[in-house]
Structure 1
Amino acid sequence: MAVSTPQVLDELLRQLSSRARQDADLDPGPQTLIDWLGRQLGAEIALVDRGGTVEASTARFPPAILDSLRPVLTRLSGGQLAAAASQVGAFHVRCEALGRDGPRPVLVVAGPLPLTREALALTSHVGAVIEVVRRARRADGLALRYQRAAARLRLAILAALMTGEPTLARRMTAGAVPPLLDAERLRVHLLRCPPADRGRIIDAHEDASGYHGCGLMVRCPVYDDHLICLLPPDDDAGGADGSGSPAAPLRALVRDNPHYALGISAAVPLPDTARAYDQARHALAVACHTSERVADYHGRPPLAGLLPRPQALAWARAFLEPIRAAPRLTLDITSLALHFPRSGVARLLDVSRNTVTAHLGRVQDALGLDLQDPRSRAELALALAINDLPSPDGDPVAEPPPTPSVDGLLSTEAAVTWAQAFLQPLLSGTDRAVHRTLRAWVEAGADAQRTARDLGISRTTVRAHLRTAEQLLQRGLLTPGPGIHDLVHAFRIADRAP
């Protein structure tokens, strides 16, 4: 069959360009090119990979041909030959090695007649295109694996910072330390956006090192619509509108997308990243109810830091004594389960949900708690928070104070003042419905359906009151975490206060 090579190649390029315009995701792979070449030559074609397996072929290619070509294919793949022609039964066969690096793939063309000079040239041109496509696919595969490895490294850095270990985070980077870890302080920016948008945002800001300039962006492994962004403080960056700050692109995303919201923590030292994350969650809960959809954290000091330190530490150590010798994984699961759903804890630690449940069951039995009850969860969270604070200064050999009860600890003036200030936004109006709903919700184990039944209102009304309370208290209540713990403590203190 006579073939005019330049015109046919022009047609091939036009077809490939047309397909790319019609569907940006269409990949003109080797199969597409082999089918096209088969139609042009009126022949059967196969692409044999480096291992001797047919990678792609026309529909009627006779596989028996390859059995008699094994010695030739081996020499072509190994680089001893560039091309070879032979006859196998009624077929005239042309074999051509593709690429330069061995072992090489081989393009096999079998037809009823020998190939003309033009057909040979077209075969070589299409073979070169096939090899370019294959190399591009391998490059894309390598790039994808690199992106996945970079994402895993960023998540590992976040996990190390969340456990208060910036030095461990630096060691994980094997010398390629992100600029963020050279900063003394950071802010957590928590962006809520459609799950599918997270990858696009990360890719748009990722640099050649796999980081994001002076910050890090990490897909939240628990909540699919959260993007965690760690950035150095921008107090002194940019103009009055913040246009020169590292957070400016995030603010612009929220401004331009009505389904986005952004919560921003206070500036904290790197070891306090977990505290900043909790602050960003509270701020995000507030941002979702504002017209700007952006909120900075303006919370009060945490309760654990306001209690008399020696007495609080004595209570916390006594409370946690039954699990002090528990395995590290048990303690990690317990701490995370106070802030995330159990399924989220399983995803964070890459364990099964049954494993999470088993570890929490052992903690419940040891402490005599029901970790499904928000009051038990709040008490355990308070003990862990107190235990994580720095040890008090003073004489190390001094007699430790008597261990107080938790009610005695929460009856101090500092605790009462904290609770009154916390609950004041709920009491400032004449409508006490939100306040009543919150009390019933805590009593019902933070179950909206039980609360609705107990109060004789709809579940929708309960959730509406919870969203209002989130805005008033500047705390997240619709997901497990410190917002619910603070609410439980505030009610408990208020009930016992003079």
Structure 2
Amino acid sequence: MQEVTRLLSHLRGSGPVDRRLERLLDWLGGAVGGTAQLTGTPGGARLPPEAAETAEQLTAGRLRSAALQDGSRHLRLTAIGPEPPYAVLTVARSEPFDGRAGALVTAAVDLIGSLVELRAAAADRERLRTVAAALRVAVFQLLMGGEVTLAQRTSEGLTAGLLDAEQQRVYVLEGPAAERDELALRCTEATAGQALVVRCPAYDQHLIVVAPLRGPVTEDGWDRVGLALRDFVADRPDRFLGGSGRLPLAQTAGCYGDATRALAVARLQPGRAALYAAESRLAEVLDPRAAAAWADALLRPLHALPLSGRDQLLGTLHLGLEFPATSAAKIIGISRNTVRARLDRAGDLLGLDLTGVRERAVLHLALRMAGRDGAAAAPVPPVEVPAEVLTEALVEVLTAPPSVEWAGTLLDRLSEDGRELRRTLLGWLRANCGVDLTATALDLHPQTVRDHLRAAERLLQRQLLSGGGGVYEVVLAFTALGELPPVHG
């Protein structure tokens, strides 16, 4: 019997619990000269019909074990587990159970019980991970919608004080979708639970990390969380990392957009990691007071809405301008039809056709500049400002010397390529980003247009073909230089 006990103890070895159970049951069935099966557990076999009634009593806890005979078959049934409903071990053989066979069953019961408990614990842990992952997504979506206080309260269910910080940085870590779950666990461990690690609802290859800023940063701007994430990127050529600037929690939506733009830059960098370079962006060179006055006047119809409806609409606009409606909907947690309806409503209120890239660029800039003169909240102008006055104000903002210098510096990068990238890019914007229309207008092959645009992306360090803030800045750069006419704004 000692030899059997040693053999059973060896079956406690490593490997998935289900596989270990399978091996043990196969061994037990062979050792007694019959079969052994486990019922009442995930993936368990069905009981023989003749044992069903007795098994119900075992499952309920009214019996702990039973011996049955059905014709030429002899059965031993044993309840397995710490509490009902119990699993049932059923061992069958053609011969009556002698002392050796009975001892084998008895010796196996404890080990099988331990494995069943391990499987139940693993299932519980998986359920907890699933609930925690859903809670993280919910907290992120609250932040994206501007519901900071509610997000902070909800996050207490994850880690006490997780979002208790004045400023944050958002990171987007890109890697193979098949590795995302494992990478999410490693990121959570590496950040010691002090960052919100979210599986992106829209892009399977993305992890989103909201990192409240509490400690020092390096000379090149990386905080502790960012340094930990960079380690995951360093040795893997198929991983990339983009990080936003430092902004309040209320501006999570803006941070997320900045992080995705930094991710686009990271794909072009040797180190495959980049932080959002605010100094190279149009918003940083504009006169904040003049730009904020224009933006607040343009957005007056939105700011005049009731508070709840306004925050909801503004949160949707930030994402709806950066991403396709389907992706924005998944990130916020609403339907794509709702995203489109909110964009349509905003366009109607503002008098902007948001199907046009130039109109979207104007609104995108207004959302970034509103309140930039230092006001706690964007003021509502007392009267509606005529469209022509808004257009004049926008032209004044964009044609100020710092704006023109920024635009010239940006677009001059295109000359580093010997092809006519600038002509193609301008034609593409005039065609509202339609490749085929651009090819027809410029007498080029559509693939040539795409090749020019990809080359422009590398030189400008901005996403173009996938849309978003990078395209909008290029639109405004051409507008500042007088190569694109200003739209209503």
Comparing 133-142 and 166-175, the one that deviates more:
166-175
Which residue is 1:132 aligned to?
114
Residues 272/366 of structure 1: CA separation in 2 closer, same or farther (3 Å cut)? closer
Partner Cα distance (2:385, 2:44) in 1: 77
Quote the offset at 1:408 in angstroms: 0.8
Quote the offset at 1:305 in angstroms: 4.3
Q: What secondary structure does 2:299 align onto?
A: helix
Quote the offset at 1:162 in angstroms: 2.8
Residues 26/172 of structure 1: CA separation in 2 closer, same or farther (3 Å cut)? closer
Comparing 482-491 and 316-325, the one that deviates more:
316-325
Q: Deviations over 1:85-123 (max 9, x none)?
A: 243343333222223312322223333322122211211
Counterpart selection for 1:436 from 417, 423, 440: 423
1:265 corresponds to 2:244: yes
Comparing 474-483 and 336-345, the one that deviates more:
474-483
Which residue is 1:492 aligned to?
479
Partner Cα distance (2:30, 2:287) in 1: 77
Which residue is 2:391 aligned to?
407
Counterpart of 2:393, as a letter, is L
Q: Residue 77 of structure 1 contacts residue 104 of structure 1 at CA under 8 Å; is this kept in 2?
A: yes
Which residue is 1:380 aligned to?
363
Counterparts of 1:39-438 in structure 2, within 5 Å, are 39-49=30-40, 55-56=44-45, 63-67=48-52, 70=53, 72-174=54-156, 177-207=159-189, 212-233=192-213, 236-237=216-217, 245-299=224-278, 300=281, 302=283, 305=288, 307-318=290-301, 332-357=315-340, 359-360=342-343, 369-385=352-368, 402-403=385-386, 405=388, 406-413=390-397, 415-416=399-400, 417-427=402-412, 429=415, 431=418, 433-438=420-425
Q: Residue 93 of structure 1 contacts residue 111 of structure 1 at CA under 8 Å; is this kept in 2?
A: yes
Which residue is 1:34 aligned to?
25
Quote the offset at 1:308 in angstroms: 4.5
Quote the offset at 1:421 in angstroms: 0.7
Partner Cα distance (1:478, 1:446) in 2: 8
RMSD over aligned CA atoms reads 4.0
Q: What secondary structure does 1:118 align onto?
A: helix
Q: What secondary structure does 2:202 align onto?
A: coil
Quote the offset at 1:409 in angstroms: 1.7
Counterpart of 2:421, as a letter, is V
Q: Deviations over 1:101-156 (max 9, x none)?
A: 12322223333322122211211233333322222222111111211222222222
Q: Residue 241 of structure 2 contacts residue 266 of structure 2 at CA under 8 Å; is this kept in 1?
A: yes
Q: What secondary structure does 2:69 align onto?
A: strand
1:466 corresponds to 2:453: yes
Partner Cα distance (1:172, 1:393) in 2: 25
Counterpart of 2:29, as a letter, is G
The number of residues matched between the two structures is 475
Partner Cα distance (2:380, 2:454) in 1: 49
Residues 130/403 of structure 1: CA separation in 2 closer, same or farther (3 Å cut)? same
Residues 298/80 of structure 1: CA separation in 2 closer, same or farther (3 Å cut)? closer
Counterpart of 1:346, as a letter, is A
Partner Cα distance (1:331, 1:272) in 2: 11
Residues 117/449 of structure 1: CA separation in 2 closer, same or farther (3 Å cut)? farther
Quote the offset at 1:172 in angstroms: 0.8
What TM-score do the two structures reach when normalised by structure 1?
Answer: 0.80
Counterpart of 2:133, as a letter, is A
Partner Cα distance (2:184, 2:249) in 1: 22
Quote the offset at 1:229 in angstroms: 2.2
Identical aligned pairs, as a percentage?
Answer: 34
Partner Cα distance (2:223, 2:315) in 1: 39
Long gaps (5+) in structure 1:
none
Long gaps (5+) in structure 2:
none
Quote the offset at 1:392 in angstroms: 5.1
Counterpart of 2:45, as a letter, is A
Which residue is 2:469 aligned to?
482
Residues 73/233 of structure 1: CA separation in 2 closer, same or farther (3 Å cut)? closer
Q: What secondary structure does 1:263 align onto?
A: strand
